Structure 1
Amino acid sequence: MAQQILFERKGPFAHVTFNRPRAGNPINSAMLTRLTTLMQDLGKEDDLRAVVLRGNGADFCTGRERGKGKPPGAAPDSAYVLHGKVMARILAVYKAFRDCPAPIISVVQGRALGFGCALVGGSDVAIAGDGARFSLPEMTHGTAPTLAMSALTKVSPKALADMIYSMDEIDAQTALAIGLVGRVVATENLDETVDALLARMMEYDIPQIRTVKRFIARGLTLDPETTSDLAGYTLATLNTRPK
């Protein structure tokens, strides 16, 4: 049986690939656990410059594979039990993305739906092919997508609400306009674009790379005065550290 998540370390870069291409790379329970553990382990590697996340085949990730649910007549789980079985495991993935000190680069072709869309939003860099499509279809299943929303804080709130209520797919250019991705290129140029970015990142010191991720995540959420102070002291500390 083929591995459902492929992992390869190429020098200072880690490559993580969803590998269920015939199904559109949906994420099942085992893949959730594997992805969380993998990102946690990568976060401990001091020589890691970046993690490249992508899907094998035509799609990036078409969401989370839904479980079978309880048989008819069975007592429903309490909120506490349900959170532990489902919600906490999904949120653990998003936390592992945030906590990994190296930036995560999502490379998106085809569809990124639901959980897949949230992974793109939770990445530090997202490069989309011009044929990429994004949506949050959870309301179809009677579920408010609060978990995905927690990973999409960089997206315009009004645009996010429109995606959820309309359940419309948006194209790559719209995703760029609302802050879901940072760059759109021709799909056939995705590999070339990523390779060029990784080559450029080889020129930077690892502490500088990691500081940019940390400052964007935390420094830009503060009031202007505190952000200014943090920017100055962060740079001073970096530039006076032992080489």
Structure 2
Amino acid sequence: MSGEHILFETRVGSLARLTLNRPAARNSLSVAMLEQLHDGILRLGETPDVHVIILSGTGPAFCAGHDLRELTAARLQPDKGQSFFQETMSKCSQLMTAIVHCPKPVIAQVHGIATAAGAQLVASCDLAVAERGARFATPGVNIGLFCSTPMVALSRNVSRKAAMELLLTGEMIEADEARRIGLINRIAETGSLEEVTEDLAAQIASKAPATLRIGKEAFYRQIEMPLTEAYSFASQVMTVNMMLPDAEEGISAFLEKREANWQR
């Protein structure tokens, strides 16, 4: 449990869960929330017996984005809030980058709404499971604030036209549409969100931890490279991976038709 109780941490076997706990504020990302999430991701990423991390929220929403009341209050400062706005956006970018760079797979478990920086949080996670009825939007354009930082994660998840439509219209989309455009992976029926998410997490956690770590890092590095460079890089990664004990064990187990005994 976090110090200020705005973020809870729980463990079930090799699965770790970070739960946003500002239900009255729709789990909006205050500076304190950004800091605690960032610290949690970094710490769990280096915790050997944690293999998969799940992000979820309490109350009626997964995450409604930045805390607009906190941002508005900062306008009373002598610089009209500019330094606070810069700090907030910097901390948010650090969090999203930490999720991508985390050596463990991170899964968003989404209910209610995920809007603005909340949608950015979903897009930054490696996988996302949403409850049927969940809705997504980047509605900054409706209040004179283009969702520029959410755009970074969004444009790396969905097609350009789909991203631009969300960013330019600010309209909400339902879970079915979010899945169609690639923002989420699976839809859970009402009442089964946690079960579906944990089943997916457990399936991934059953794989060799070293293989997951190598694969996740390689995925995000190669996706920004030109094709020829990406193949060259991926070939090197495959060679390194083949030299690991888990790869030798996994191939042997497959050929011998037995369960693999991964190093932990």
The answer to whether the superposition gives a TM-score over 0.5 is yes
CA deviation map 1:13-58 (0-9, x unaligned): 2100011224322222211111111112222223321110011133
Q: CA deviation at 1:172?
A: 0.7
SS of residue paired to 1:188: coil
SS of residue paired to 2:18: strand
CA deviation map 1:164-190 (0-9, x unaligned): 221110011111122211122313222
Change (3 A) 1:87 1:106: same
Task: Give me the whole-angstrom Cα distance separating, in 1, the residues matched to 2:243 and 2:14.
Answer: 24
Moved more, 212-221 or 114-123: 212-221
* Structure 1 residue 69 corresponds to structure 2 residue 71: no
Map of 1:6-85 to 2, 5 A cutoff? 6-66=8-68, 67=70, 68-71=73-76, 74-76=78-80, 81=83, 84-85=86-87
Task: Give me the whole-angstrom Cα distance separating, in 1, the residues matched to 2:80 and 2:58.
Answer: 36
Moved more, 15-24 or 229-238: 229-238
Identical columns (%) = 28
For the Cα contact (< 8 Å) 2:14–2:51, is it kept in 1? yes
Task: Give me the whole-angstrom Cα distance separating, in 2, the residues matched to 1:39 and 1:14.
Answer: 10
For the Cα contact (< 8 Å) 2:18–2:55, is it kept in 1? yes
Aligned counterpart in structure 2 of residue 198 of structure 1, from 198, 201, 213: 201
Task: Give me the whole-angstrom Cα distance separating, in 2, the residues matched to 1:119 and 1:147.
Answer: 11
* Structure 1 residue 132 corresponds to structure 2 residue 137: no
TM-score, with normalisation over the residues of structure 2? 0.83
Change (3 A) 1:46 1:176: same
Q: CA deviation at 1:237?
A: 1.4
SS of residue paired to 1:139: helix
Moved more, 123-132 or 215-224: 215-224
For the Cα contact (< 8 Å) 1:125–1:182, is it kept in 2? yes
SS of residue paired to 1:121: helix
Map of 2:218 onto structure 1 = 215
Change (3 A) 1:58 1:76: closer
Q: Would you identify which runs of 4 or more consecutive aligned residues in structure 1 move more than 3 Å? A: 74-78, 81-84
Question: What is the aligned length?
Answer: 240
Map of 1:227-238 to 2, 5 A cutoff? 227-238=230-241
Aligned counterpart in structure 2 of residue 172 of structure 1, from 172, 175, 179: 175
Map of 1:156 onto structure 2 = 159
Map of 1:103 onto structure 2 = 105
TM-score, with normalisation over the residues of structure 1? 0.89
Amino acid at match of 1:129: E
For the Cα contact (< 8 Å) 1:13–1:50, is it kept in 2? yes
CA deviation map 1:195-220 (0-9, x unaligned): 22233224211011122212221223
For the Cα contact (< 8 Å) 1:97–1:122, is it kept in 2? yes
For the Cα contact (< 8 Å) 1:127–1:183, is it kept in 2? yes
SS of residue paired to 1:61: coil
CA deviation map 1:110-154 (0-9, x unaligned): 100111100000000111111110011112332221111122221
For the Cα contact (< 8 Å) 1:43–1:99, is it kept in 2? no
